[in-house]
Chains A and B, each alone.
Chain A
Amino acid sequence: MNSLSRRRFLKLSAGTISLAAAGYALSARELKAPAEKKRGIQKIPTYCDICFWKCGAIAYLKDGELWKVEGNPDDPLSRGRLCPRGTGGVGAHTDPDRLRAPLIRKQQRGEEIWQEVTWDEALSYIAEKMQTIKAAYGPEAVALFSHGIGGNFLKHTIKAFGSPNITAPSFAQCRGPRDVGFRLTFGEDVSSPERTDIKNAKCLVLIGSHLGENMHNSQVQEFADAIESRASIIVVDPRYSVAASKAKYYLPIKAGTDLALILAWMNVIVKEGLYDKEYVTKYGFGFDQFASLISRNTPEWAYPQTGIEPEVIRETAREMARYKPATLVHPGRHVTWYGDDAQRSRAIALLNALLGSWGRRGGFYYPVSMDVPPYPYPEYPKPAKPKVDNPNNKYPFAHETITTGIRDATLTGSPYPVKGWLVYATNLLHALPNEQETIKAIQNLDLLVVVDVIPSEIAGWADVVLPESVYLERHDDLNVEWFREPFIALRQPVIDSPHDQKPNWWIAKELANKLGLSKFFPWESIEDYFRQRLSAGGYSYEALKKKGIIRGKQQPIYFDEGVPAEFPTPSGKIEFYSLQLQKAGFDAVPKFNAPDSGPPGSFRLLYGRAPVHSFSRTHTNRILSDMMDENEVWVNSDIAERLGLASGQYVTLRNQDGVVSTKIKVKATERIRPDCVYMVHGFGHTAKGLKHAYRKGASDAQLITRYITDPLMGGTGMNVNFVTLEPAEA
């Protein structure tokens, strides 16, 4: 106190008063004395959350400070090695741009002007608004958008509240079409983590899937295994991806014509009798009709569509057949491209079926899991209304909830109004196409709550923002994974949250209490929840806590190991010809329709992933932003020269609807077709709180004003926008 002048002390006091008057309150955490730091190295197992893959990790503390995160050698997903994002996990904890305290909006939505409040105030406000909405419109008028395992407890609260409207962009903006296409064919999803047996594949076909840039850890590790064992790799992509550089065959396809190529491959394999006849005869349904319908899809037919020469199509088809059934035509993950995505995915499923790879080593295995019963909660109230996203079953094969369907209902009030959105860990303004539609829908809401770790674009539009602890600071639900071997993983805190952040389970439980739903959270602490579930399955929480992972016994995962060859389709077989599609008015066997080309002089906008970032969620992580702090627009070298653009120069992109991006650097490269441009997704942040990432690079999402909805399942095909390039000032 001696060193403070009286004048400065008075100023400080005045500041404190005005903060208190503004509704700020010190939390218990901030009042408590700092705990004594433990000396030396501590190792604590947990699992990662920089993406959704949930790799087992070991966090290292040095003298009580978070030092580094490594893979947990006991974990089947990471096999002891994390991806660069997981290795950079420390940066999530130390990110100076993190949300620090609960916020309530003070001005117009989107102006990002907030008042810091206590958790009690924030949760009371949310509960009161939710009850008002429930009284006027019913509980179904509150929807939850949630991404990742961290949303499990909030989902539970919303189900207890009585709403069936729970969704994630991972279906209609990502893997949905793939899972629908495979479900229609084999009766089962590809699921996540993908049941692809990459490490045992002798021939691996990647269609637009850019493993190595798309850094799903187990997939990339197995991709390296496949390279090591000299698998024949075939890559189809308008861009010469990292994976393409590993390929024996690189097919520089015209964007939007993959289905034509797949049909032609199947045509060759059927016509030349190269398919697995025994497998197809034993397990297939409607093969003859299928064969007849694809008989005109010759390589010569596909050539003008795809730009891939007939001989190359034949040679690669024969290459696939040579290694069958250990030929894996990878189904991809983010496959919402052109609006024909479910049928294209079905064609990929059919190609795999011809090669006999489903259920076989080097193809698709049958994932296994541990038996850990769910917590014995009371029964949820039965919602009075069906889900809002898919009225009259417009998209008959949507087996998950459609985000954009909920957005439509929010915009139109039909089939019934949606008045509240809770958004957990998904930046909807980057995840959904056409941000203006999202913003308009938000204007119809009585309540928008965002729970996140950083002040994302969607948080900027929220009425209430709840700051969550990052994964290294919290428990989450058990990961009882379906994978090639069974295991259970625990996420547990390794360090305290630096400010007034809280874990999602605490938020969900406290909100439920405020809503009068405390009977749905009968456990006191989340460790009681873990103990209950694990002991019901015959496992020890203490053992899991110590090791982070409990592994089960290896079980059969292939047909030849004893997995029964059962296909839960209507025919009970692999459906080469789909009567259920025919009945619903769709093509029973996929048919190709050529995509629209854009305005003359424009380039199709393609986007993808970088290995060091997840979606739009990691750009303020200082370790990861040091690896890549802005994206570039890839332009074919000849085109760049023609346009007078050089690498490193800034441009803006203008799309077909006149939307102009923030400025982005040009990467003039041979590695892309002349008719496309490409950028890594998620950059170009416009949320002011993301100080470190603000306006660095450009947002593909902002330019995706158009999308084509998949008629089978409501997915949004987003690779249907076209841009021109205009020089910008540096």
Chain B
Amino acid sequence: MAQFGMVIDTAKCVGCMDCVVACKTENGVPEGFNRDWITQDVAGKYPTLHMEIRSERCNQCENPPCVYCCPTGASHVHDFGGVVLVEHGMCIGCKACLASCPYDARFIHPDGYADKCTFCIHRVEKGLDPACVSVCPTHCMTFGDLEDPNSTVSRLLTSRKYHTLIPETGTKPHVYYLV
């Protein structure tokens, strides 16, 4: 069975937010909210510095606390590629998932349901990349099936060093950052 994942090359990412804008227009994310965002991690003392720039979003975790804590079953793992989704009609907007997510990836949509990145499953079903991946001017993002050893995402993870975000929570993210 396919397991979709995203591999993002932090060496190439310039943090331009094209991914954020594309998500917004593709998915009609309302003003004041975004499903993805940019983080700049700066370490060191001027001028000896290191900065990692990351495009972040829902990590589409293998152990998704948002799904485990959802009282109605609105948050669920979809059969297609193991994508974590929210069934809007079943969501009561209780915010348990917002509290459980270590990545702060969710928000309450003005229409009352919990909202977040869907890996653009509506595009993926048509054979397209998620909007963020498809627009990135630096080509720093790759999307694909982690279960397929020949996919670009799998090959990148065997050939490059990478990390995931807050691995100590045991969520097992499916979004990977190449260093």
Contacts and interface: CB of A to CB of B under 8 A. Distances in A.
A81 B21 contact: no
| Listed residue (B15, B42, B138) with the most chain A CB atoms within 10 angstroms of its CB | B138
B12 A83 contact: no
Interface in B113-159: 134-140
B17 A611 contact: yes
B20 A627 contact: yes
B12 A215 contact: no
A68 B138 CA distance: 20
Contacts of A211: 14
B14 A242 contact: yes
Interface in B42-59: 42, 44-47, 49-53
Given A611-B14, A627-B17, A627-B20, A217 B137 contact: yes
B32 interface: yes
A84 B20 contact: yes
A228 B138 CA distance: 9
A612 interface: yes
Contacts of B44: 670
B138 A224 contact: yes
B179 interface: no
Contact of A670 (B49, B135, B136): B49
Contact of B17 (A71, A224, A252, A612): A612
B24 A626 contact: yes
A250 interface: yes
A626 B32 contact: yes
B47 A240 contact: yes
Contacts of B12: 224, 227-228
Interface string A57-91: 00000000001111100000000011110011010
B135 A81 contact: yes
Given A212-B16, A242-B53, A626-B34, A70 B135 contact: yes
Contacts of A129: none
Nearest to A246: B11
Interface string A644-681: 00000000000000000000000001111110000000
A715 to B, nearest CB: 28
A228 B53 CA distance: 15
Interface in A580-630: 611-612, 622-624, 626-628
Contacts of B52: 245
Contact of B137 (A81, A622, A624): A81
A220 B14 contact: yes
A81 B24 contact: no
Nearest to A78: B137
A220 B16 contact: yes
A157 interface: no
Nearest to A638: B46
A223 B21 CA distance: 21
Contacts of A68: 22, 25-26
A481 interface: no
A87 B42 contact: no
A245 B137 contact: no
Contacts of A626: 24, 31-32, 34
Interface residues of B, number: 33
Given A68-B25, A68-B26, A224-B138, A83 B46 contact: no
A478 to B, nearest CB: 25
Nearest to B139: A224
Contacts of A243: 14
A221 interface: yes
A611 to B, nearest CB: 4
A94 B17 CA distance: 20
Given A70-B135, A670-B46, A84 B31 contact: no
Contacts of B21: 84, 87-88, 612, 623-624, 627
B25 A81 contact: no
Contact of B51 (A88, A213, A220, A245): A245
A167 interface: no
A636 interface: yes
B42 A670 contact: yes
Nearest to A224: B138
Interface string A454-466: 0000000000000
Contact of B16 (A83, A669, A671): A83
B49 A671 contact: yes
Given A220-B138, A240-B46, A670-B49, A67 B16 contact: no
A198 to B, nearest CB: 12
Contact of B135 (A87, A673, A674): A87
Interface string B63-87: 0000000000000000000000000
Nearest to B51: A245
Most chain B beta-carbon neighbours within 10 Å: one of A81, A88, A245: A245
Interface in B1-23: 11-12, 14-18, 20-22
Nearest to A253: B47
Contacts of B17: 84, 611-612, 627-628
A591 B139 CA distance: 42
Contacts of B42: 240, 669-671
Given A71-B135, A81-B135, A626-B34, A224 B26 contact: no
A669 B43 CA distance: 10
B15 A242 contact: yes
A623 B25 contact: yes
Given A245-B51, A622-B31, A623-B21, A213 B46 contact: no
A212 B46 contact: no
Contact of A252 (B34, B47, B139, B140): B47
A506 B139 CA distance: 39
B11 A221 contact: no
Interface string A670-712: 1111100000000000000000000000000000000000000
A221 B137 contact: yes
B15 A212 contact: yes
Most buried by A among B25, B134, B139: B25
A87 B44 CA distance: 34
Interface string A431-449: 0000000000000000000
Q: Which 8 A-B pairs have the closest CB atoms?
A: A212-B14, A224-B138, A252-B47, A611-B16, A245-B51, A84-B18, A68-B25, A87-B21
Interface of B: 11-12, 14-18, 20-22, 24-26, 31-32, 34, 42, 44-47, 49-53, 134-140
26 contacts: A68-B26, A70-B135, A81-B139, A82-B18, A83-B16, A83-B18, A83-B137, A88-B24, A88-B25, A221-B139, A224-B12, A224-B14, A224-B140, A227-B138, A240-B42, A240-B49, A252-B46, A252-B47, A612-B16, A624-B21, A627-B17, A627-B20, A637-B46, A670-B42, A670-B44, A671-B49
Given A250-B49, A637-B46, 19 more contacts: A84-B17, A84-B20, A84-B21, A87-B18, A88-B21, A217-B137, A220-B138, A224-B140, A227-B11, A227-B12, A252-B46, A611-B14, A611-B16, A612-B16, A612-B17, A627-B20, A670-B42, A671-B46, A674-B46
